[in-house]
Structure 1
Amino acid sequence: MSEQASDQAQHSLPLITHLLELRDRILKVVVVVLAIFLSLVYFSNDIYHYIAIPLTSQLPEGSSMIATGVATPFFTPIKLTIVLSIFIAIPAILYQVWAFIAPGLYKHEQKLVAPLVISSALLFYLGMVFSYYVVFPLVFSFFTSTAPEGVTIATDISSYLDFVLKLFFAFGLAFEIPVATLLLCWTGATTPESLKAKRPYIVVGAFIFGMLLTPPDVISQTLLAVPMLILFELGLLFSRFYVKKPASDDELDPEENTIHKEPKN
């Protein structure tokens, strides 16, 4: 019984160690997000004003945004600041994820993960910038110009925030397609030739994805689907250089690279 108990204890130690490490890394992420939030919370109203410019610049003269709730003018900018703090902390979040999984990777895999982490953060930010400077002006210009005669446009600040956050997330996630394509080919889950053969289905899937992640209008759906297809083609181009190859003996972990040979008769 004592030997069985000791074996169970030895098997449970790695799991406990991983859980403790995961807890520590989550706490580090929370601290980073909290530090960013505390440094930005004083400017929360200014940040909301900047985010609202794409809509307020398109409103008819004399129109403005409104707040329908009693506490909405206070909590809405705070909510935006919290989400913005998480977005800013994405490099730190991705680094903690990479540091957690890196010990279980081979050396050649670790060399590829670091560029993927950096490119993932940059692509996510690029998607947000694209949505703010390209998509928002087109979408809000269309919506405000199609309002029926006699209808005064007065958007609630909370509804507007939910709308733009959904678009920020949708475009940030969509711009990760090159990284996802590289990972699929690098891990051997698929090949560039297979993805190329499935291009018609991917085109349809991009528009369906755009329909699900964006508000129910054709403009937002198209403005999301077209960049997705362009980014897919870009990822497909680079994935040809990152096809999975068998790891060489010197790249493997020494403990896992033990080969047991049968003695010759």
Structure 2
Amino acid sequence: MTLLEHLEELRLRIIYVTIVLGILALITFHFSLRILQFILKPLIKVLPPTSHVIFTGITEAFWVRMEVSLYAAVLFGLPYIFYHIWMFVHPGLTKKEKKIVLPFIFFATVFFLIGCVFAYKVILPIGLKFLVNYGGKEMSAMPSIKQYVSFFLRICFAFGLIFEMPVVSYILAKADVINAKWLIKKWDYAILGAFIVAAVLAPPDVLSQFLMAIPMILLYVVSIGVVYIAQKPKKEDED
């Protein structure tokens, strides 16, 4: 396959994914109010009785529901998205590697959802409690719905992508881009990188940053094992 053919295939797959996400977004928009209520739960729990979530622009609430619908469509469309990602790299794989498309879709989807759930259940309650109470008694929290939803989605999708580390490591190992020995040698850089990413993406309190960095380090350890297993059969075949 030439470069132009590869780019044409990429364009078509992006179109397919966009069409499906558009259809899903129309469906999820019908349930966008319920989804928004689910998103607001972690914030409502930490807000004092005198505080409320507000919107300041006439169209702000509408566009927030549109944004929520789109991200919900992406979440429900993950298996389809991962399928097209796999099929795009399909020509560069061996016959044996092409057969693992279903496990790839399954594990990529599951790991992403686990990351989102971890952010929702662990990181957001701690981070939001710190941020809301940071103003003290002198200031009342009146968070904007637009700012909160953007913050919520950024945290959840960041954790979803972080939890894809073992899956991405497996693909890179199969492509001979990385190996277990190389990952072990870069252990110190991985720890440093985890805390840098946590400092950028997590809420500003130290506990939330640690809760983000520690899973990243553990996932790095898991990735080492995944890479070792992914490349071990190849070495045995060569022997």
TM-score normalised by the chain length of structure 1: 0.80
Q: Is the CA contact (8 Å cut-off) linking 1:98 and 1:114 kept in structure 2?
A: no
Q: Is the partner of 1:70 in helix, strand or coil?
A: coil
Q: How many residues align?
A: 237
Which range moves more in the overlay, 156-165 or 108-117? 108-117
Which of 186, 192, 197 is equivalent to 2:174? 186
Which residue in the other structure is 2:53 paired with?
65
**Cα distance in 2 for residues equivalent to 1:102 and 1:180:** 15
**Cα distance in 1 for residues equivalent to 2:178 and 2:85:** 24
Q: Is the CA contact (8 Å cut-off) linking 1:166 and 1:214 kept in structure 2?
A: no
- Encode CA deviations 1:195-238: one digit per residue, 9 max, x unaligned: 22321221111101212223433233222111111111112123
Which residue in the other structure is 2:69 paired with?
81
Q: Is the CA contact (8 Å cut-off) linking 1:174 and 1:224 kept in structure 2?
A: no
1:247: how far off? Answer: 11
2:15 corresponds to which letter in structure 1? L
Which residue in the other structure is 2:158 paired with?
170
**Cα distance in 2 for residues equivalent to 1:16 and 1:199:** 39
> What runs of 5+ residues in structure 2 fail to find an aligned partner?
none
- Encode CA deviations 1:100-119: one digit per residue, 9 max, x unaligned: 33234220221345423321
Which residue in the other structure is 1:258 paired with?
none
Please give the residue correspondences for 1:1-265 in structure 2 after superposition, counting only pairs within 5 Å. 17-243=5-231, 245=234
1:18: how far off? Answer: 4.5
**Cα distance in 1 for residues equivalent to 2:11 and 2:170:** 30
Q: Is the partner of 1:236 in helix, strand or coil?
A: helix
**Cα distance in 1 for residues equivalent to 2:134 and 2:161:** 29
1:192: how far off? Answer: 1.3
Q: Is the CA contact (8 Å cut-off) linking 2:155 and 2:202 kept in structure 1?
A: yes
Larger radius of gyration: 1
> What runs of 5+ residues in structure 1 fail to find an aligned partner?
1-12, 250-265
**Cα distance in 1 for residues equivalent to 2:110 and 2:216:** 16
2:72 corresponds to which letter in structure 1? L
Alpha carbon RMSD of aligned pairs, Å?
2.4
Identity %: 34
Q: Is the CA contact (8 Å cut-off) linking 2:28 and 2:72 kept in structure 1?
A: no
Relative to 1, partners in 2 of residues 1:100 and 1:177: Cα closer, same or farther, differing over 3 Å? Answer: closer
Which one has the bigger helix percentage?
Answer: 2
Q: Is the partner of 2:126 in helix, strand or coil?
A: helix
Q: Is the CA contact (8 Å cut-off) linking 2:83 and 2:101 kept in structure 1?
A: no
- Encode CA deviations 1:68-112: one digit per residue, 9 max, x unaligned: 212112111111111221222121011122223323422022134
**Cα distance in 1 for residues equivalent to 2:223 and 2:3:** 36
Relative to 1, partners in 2 of residues 1:155 and 1:198: Cα closer, same or farther, differing over 3 Å? Answer: same
1:16: how far off? Answer: 5.8
